[in-house]
Structure 1
Amino acid sequence: MSQQPPHATFAEGKIGQYLLNRLDEAAQYSQPGAGVTRLFCSTEHRQVLPLIEQWMTRAGLTPELDAAGNLVGRCPKALSGEPTLIMGSHQDSVVEGGKYDGMLGIAVPLVALETLRHAGVTLPYGVEVVAFGDEEGVRFPTTLVGSRALAGTTESQQLEARDKQGISLREALRSFGVEPDGIPALARDPANTLGFVEVHIEQGPRLEQRDHAVGIVTSLTGIERHQVTVSGKAGHAGTTPMPGRHDALVGASDMVLAVDRVLQATEGLVGVVGQLDVHPNAVNVIPASVTFTIELRSPQSETRQQGHETIRAALHEVAERRGLTLSMDNTYRADGAHCAEWIMRGLEQACATLEQPTERMFSGAGHDGLAMQDVTDIGMLFVRCKEGLSHHPDEHISADDGEVAVRVMMEFLQQLDPSRCR
């Protein structure tokens, strides 16, 4: 692990590289292969925790692993129950993702707090930085497990979700060393929570096109996910006549194209068929069943609902025409979230103090704020990423932009008046 940094680390022009070095170190805790693969309650998740604990300790926070698999760092004021601002992001990644998605939002506030601590600055309110265990929803067919726990909106059926090995989320948490029965007690008190602020790479090209280091997020997209199962009839690939076959994969392929047609024709709606599993998945057997996922995104719930209904009708038409059976189950839904005006203004003022140009912009991605909006005001600072690339091994930010993000957060924290929140 990194040694205690020298004082020169906190000089202007040095903090950005310090931040990137941290992110490089965290990226080592990954499954073998390209990019970063670090799933919820995995060995890699367990291995990265001591590193983040070290970051938290240097920032003057006391780390604790909670019942939902979140690593939470609190300052003395937060531990004593004073009004608290929550910051943070997620430690988990997609498969073969990048080193900045999620982890940047953990590292930036901790470097900001460490730098303020080095300068002798004491904030007049509590701060809490959370490394959420799960946001991507890759291992289990559920997501925002950690932030829903803090918001007090975890549902019991979430804990029964199972990964591809048949392990339930409840079992995985217990194997990880925490007790999921304690999740309800994690809910934060809205009256004592000042807000939730997250730093994240933009995951799009707008900041790069504007030549801006950072941007102020106005709202987060709404998301829904569905699992579709198409059932047909298996048979010998060489002896079953082509006419009259009930090939689940051929039908599912038709359905995937139908989903794409709806998405292409519906303004304000985007989506993807991201996973597809074939059974029995043998070279000489007609596929008996196919399971695939559909994800729909739009800031407008009415648009998502319309798209969902149109897609459902199209899939049933394919199933009927091809003699297949179909089930379509909703596995996740989160409405869009609007960022609080006072947080947006505070981030804008911090940018202005640093003479950093910025503008307000919408996020087409979902984030932990979708859950945290149920307990407190939310806000988000975007950081420019090269070519707008994300969920990819080549995602990248510069040291200069990383330093801007840290210094914006430092200004925001110092200018925040807890009596004027909301």
Structure 2
Amino acid sequence: MDWGAEAERRLTEIAACSEATEGVTRLPFTPEHAAANDLIRAWMEQAGLAVHLDAAGTLVGRKAGPEGTPTLLMGSHQDSVRNGGRYDGIMGVALACLAVERLSADRAALPFGIEVLAFADEEGVRFPTALMGPRALAGTLDPGVFDLTDREGIRLGAALDAFGGDADAALTLARDPRRTLGFLEVHIEQGPVLEDDNLALGVVTGICGIERNRVRFAGETGHAGTVPMQGRRDALVAASRFVAAVHDAACDQSDLRATVGTLDLHPDVVNAIPDRAELTLEIRAPEDTDRTGFAARARAEGSRIAAASGVSFEMDRTYAQPAVPCSAPLRKALAKAAAARVGRACLLSSGATHDTSAMADLCPVAMLFLRCREGASHSPREFARAEDMGLAVEVLAEALRGLPARPV
């Protein structure tokens, strides 16, 4: 079988399970989700997996291993952002199913069980939460999420129950880490590194830690036409110098990302000097020490700029998520298989959060990235080559052959 062509066919077919919008819009616990699950169920059954929907809405395809052996988990999410693409998330489900089918075609007997997981909600678009499926398996699911509502006022718990899940039972799904070999996720890179290096595949070293900070500069307002330029206490000027300094510092630090994503001004009128500028600073890095060190550097630079500008400065961390390192043995298995197929294995970190980040609370994790055209993601412009997907199926199957039946 041409595994890449089959992957493209399946992804084209399931892209039609969408609201009538540009691109793909498939939200959890909707008719579009149900239609997608019908197709995914068929993929799983064709791979020889026994299929069921778990209490958290995850579609699970299982093939038991020899008695007493642990289970290797694979998969990703079926949902999309609004007006998203055909590859983010769902490609990882399709390729995992094809890898199992590839092994079955070779009558390969693995020394462990396999499950392919199609999680219901990773994006957090319909409800103000995300990663419910993997968090249920990891035992980290907050029961309070079931009271969250969507735009129509529908409770998440009610939507899950109506879909065939069970909000109460979802809190009892935690797997035994001793019985779980690991979790593998295949995903488009969502960036340009692989394409720039002309490489089809990359092995992820870890998922970046994230922190978000609220930054505030406060000065003094005045009439734009009467206050002299010299001596102004302009909060926006100070903030702009801070933004530029943070950007330049991040450019000098490999693998670190720093982004000012929002900016609010007061009084925010055309003819007055801003006396307050509030902004957000998000920092991502694969090493938590690099992230926290950069935050300290940004805080010191903000204080220096404020003092020189005659304004005050505050910077408070509002959110933090630790980095998730990928398992060395799982990485090694993927890298060895990738090198055999494409000549060398590119190692890179993930700046985006994935289902893998929540599964890391349960078991060792690893990710295989595929190049995507122009790094486009969360957009109808998403595109991955059929031949690259075919390579990923072969690499994933070969990596599974090389794994031992013991925790890694």
Q: Which residue of 2 aligns with 1:189?
A: 176
Give me the whole-angstrom Cα distance separating, in 2, the residues matched to 1:350 and 1:181: 41
Change (3 A) 1:151 1:293: farther
One-letter amino acid of the structure 1 residue matched with residue 329 of structure 2: W
SS at match of 1:354: helix
Give me the whole-angstrom Cα distance separating, in 2, the residues matched to 1:136 and 1:204: 18
Q: Which residue of 2 aligns with 1:65?
A: 53
Shift of 1:142: 1.5
Contact 2:69 2:111 (C-alpha < 8 Å) held by counterparts? no
* Aligned with residue 76 of structure 2, among 78, 89, 105: 89
Instruction: Give the length in aligned residue pairs.
Output: 368
Shift of 1:38: 0.9
Change (3 A) 1:189 1:99: same
Q: Which residue of 2 aligns with 1:119?
A: 106
* Aligned with residue 4 of structure 2, among 16, 32, 36: 16
* Aligned with residue 142 of structure 1, among 101, 126, 129: 129
| 1:200-222, Cα deviation, whole Å (9 max, x unpaired) | 11111111111111011000012
Contact 1:223 1:366 (C-alpha < 8 Å) held by counterparts? no
One-letter amino acid of the structure 2 residue matched with residue 138 of structure 1: V
Shift of 1:295: 6.3
SS at match of 1:361: strand
SS at match of 2:335: helix
What are structure 2's unaligned runs of at least 5 residues? 216-235, 264-278, 303-315
Change (3 A) 1:37 1:112: same
| 1:30-69 correspondence runs (5 A) | 30-69=18-57
Q: Which residue of 2 aligns with 1:159?
A: 146
Change (3 A) 1:219 1:113: same
Identity across matched positions, percent: 43
Give me the whole-angstrom Cα distance separating, in 2, the residues matched to 1:227 and 1:174: 38
Does 2:281 align with 1:299? no
One-letter amino acid of the structure 2 residue matched with residue 340 of structure 1: S
Contact 1:199 1:380 (C-alpha < 8 Å) held by counterparts? yes
One-letter amino acid of the structure 2 residue matched with residue 396 of structure 1: F
Give me the whole-angstrom Cα distance separating, in 1, the residues matched to 2:151 and 2:373: 33
| 1:293-372 correspondence runs (5 A) | 297-301=284-288, 334-372=321-359
Does 2:189 align with 1:206? no
Shift of 1:271: 6.5
Contact 1:53 1:63 (C-alpha < 8 Å) held by counterparts? yes
Change (3 A) 1:68 1:257: farther
Shift of 1:95: 1.1
Change (3 A) 1:101 1:273: farther
TM-score by length of 1: 0.76
* Aligned with residue 219 of structure 1, among 188, 192, 206: 206
Q: Which residue of 1 aligns with 2:119?
A: 132
SS at match of 1:219: strand
Shift of 1:398: 0.9
Shift of 1:15: 1.4
SS at match of 1:85: strand
Give me the whole-angstrom Cα distance separating, in 2, the residues matched to 1:408 and 1:16: 12
Give me the whole-angstrom Cα distance separating, in 2, the residues matched to 1:161 and 1:306: 35
Q: Which residue of 1 aligns with 2:163?
A: 176
Give me the whole-angstrom Cα distance separating, in 2, the residues matched to 1:42 and 1:293: 34
One-letter amino acid of the structure 2 residue matched with residue 70 of structure 1: T
CA RMSD of aligned residues (A): 3.8
